[in-house]
Structure 1
């Protein structure tokens, strides 16, 4: 399959957050596409972790994005053409414990990345990844669109809204001139998939509990989220990157990448489906600890469907099955199915006739 017009082959790509769950999957995909990838991130927080398990042969710099001088040095050395910024403090509940760090990493860290980008003439495109939680949650029964109001109750959500404002400000102030890099942002739903061991996330909590022969504690069984496999959001990011590298300034905007309506499910429905796939799973509802979390959250991705010809590949059941299969294989004998599942996903995209994947 020819993916994304083969635009990534030999291109210099700087990827921040490459040691994280989403970033490591993106590093794998970029490497398979033939990109010359340089990563900037902190060391992985868990053992095991997806980044170490992949063992990718690419340049990796363990740098805190709050260190602007270190960022600038790496960017000056590597002269990237495309910058994909995923590094962040990504956890809602940690943001209650560490609000200042959350704001510093997510907001000022992004400002540092953008400030460095505008000093490097090689940069043609920049994509900043934020979150579906950047919207001011109204508990609406319909999806949030890119022009809906930004905001957030918890420090994480508010910091992601602020990050979007930083992106908008830099775009308007510094990236409008002829020859300037094109700057876009992306907001995805709740991603799942193999290789995530983060704290306070549903799937990693399930994996840890099953591995320890314990029950999973579920905080909000009725909370509804837009569940999607991690590769769905990454296909959107790579599609945007293709357009940014092509100099298409019309894509320099905010974009949602969420599942079809059938992927919006309550936590309890996710648990029931995984239990059918993974009979060892046992769970119970925990007492509320008082930390506020949104109960109803949808994304409207009509803009990406119309403007980028993007759409999801794996539906809800397929995404859960791939996730459960990855972890069951790893727990059984240490097999890492990431490359195999990426191949399956690309093949499914080609069979579905998606524009970014052609025979």
Structure 2
């Protein structure tokens, strides 16, 4: 019988920070399906509507409201929850907002990460950590080829810089406190591409803008139609994070940084994404918005995933066309009033079944 991730999450005590967000909500649902006992920690529910509320995720997790910027609150939380494993997703996730609120972005993304890791250090019990950052953590020099895990951290805008700095925090705490053979914790980090899928209503995101326009029968406005991004369905990087967590628990030497993105031949520009979404939706149109004085964003961005492919036997399950189809289907069903918990659960089940057909490592039976 198939047991994803070697059955590592059955009965595991897992803490998810940022669990009310888009990725955190999907991760909480998936962990619950895998049999984990999930505690969530987040400062608020960031959007309205939200997947967290529509799927009634608070019924599945022990949710706590709090701020990762508050070290004492994080320290108390870890002491009370006593997690076996932590997925740290709490973050300020928007490039444009970082221009308006740079200090708040740094406080959450950099000091929030340091607070969490130091709370784990001072707690001193066995607890592994997967820190989620971003593909934008790398110093973007305009190259077309994908960034590798060994490339330098950086960032033109405050958001990208904060993600690069968060990776430096992880590396520093790993080398300073979590390297000894008798260390109480090990830390891995995951750097995902541009994540899309049902349930994302964050501001200034292309899918959010597309769905808002389509459901109002208005044209979709695109700002940077030729900008290329490593688009991937939300379940793709989550499978990578879950694989890292299971490997950390099993003692594998995965306490380092990892890229999780699409294959190079599935990287597309914004216009291609919009055109494909319009086809899958079945109606609509798009126009180009000329924004004077718009904040700078990179034109080209992609990730090299060779390390994850060769060392973790991880690779993407859904190619670009399937990713857009599943995303359009989810939002269409939401717009028609479908039960969101059932809809989202069904997509997770379909994704796991497709992964098993492709013989992806994490989807194999335990005996394989």
For normalisation by structure 2, the TM-score amounts to: 0.95
Matches within 5 A, 1:310-321: 310-321=314-325
| Counterpart Cα distance in 2 of 1:173 and 1:121 | 14
| Counterpart Cα distance in 1 of 2:351 and 2:41 | 26
1:163 maps to: 166
* 1:309 aligned counterpart, secondary structure: coil
The answer to whether the Cα contact below 8 Å between 1:81 and 1:125 also exists between their aligned partners in 2 is yes
2:360 maps to: 354
Shift of 1:291: 0.8
Matches within 5 A, 1:1-359: 1-56=2-57, 57-180=60-183, 181-248=185-252, 250-288=253-291, 289-336=293-340, 337-359=343-365
The superposition leaves residues 41-72 of structure 1 with CA deviations (integer Å, 9 ceiling, x where unpaired) of 12212221001112132100111100111111
Aligned-residue Cα RMSD (Å) equals 1.0
The superposition leaves residues 122-160 of structure 1 with CA deviations (integer Å, 9 ceiling, x where unpaired) of 333111110000011011121100000110000000000
The superposition leaves residues 210-246 of structure 1 with CA deviations (integer Å, 9 ceiling, x where unpaired) of 2222222111000000010000000000000011111
| Counterpart Cα distance in 1 of 2:284 and 2:74 | 43
* 1:221 aligned counterpart, secondary structure: coil
The superposition leaves residues 178-219 of structure 1 with CA deviations (integer Å, 9 ceiling, x where unpaired) of 232111111010011000000000001111112222222111
| Counterpart Cα distance in 2 of 1:141 and 1:79 | 44
* 1:40 aligned counterpart, secondary structure: strand
* 2:190 aligned counterpart, secondary structure: strand
The answer to whether the Cα contact below 8 Å between 2:137 and 2:161 also exists between their aligned partners in 1 is yes
Shift of 1:277: 1.0
| Counterpart Cα distance in 2 of 1:45 and 1:163 | 21
The answer to whether the Cα contact below 8 Å between 1:10 and 1:34 also exists between their aligned partners in 2 is yes
The answer to whether the Cα contact below 8 Å between 1:223 and 1:267 also exists between their aligned partners in 2 is yes
Gaps of 5+ in 1: none
| Counterpart Cα distance in 2 of 1:335 and 1:213 | 23
Stretches of 4+ aligned residues off by more than 6 angstroms: none
| Counterpart Cα distance in 2 of 1:274 and 1:58 | 33
The answer to whether the Cα contact below 8 Å between 2:120 and 2:127 also exists between their aligned partners in 1 is no
Gaps of 5+ in 2: none
Between stretches 131-140 and 275-284, larger displacement belongs to 275-284
Shift of 1:295: 0.3
1:326–1:314 distance in 2 versus 1, CA, 3 Å: same
* 2:230 aligned counterpart, secondary structure: strand
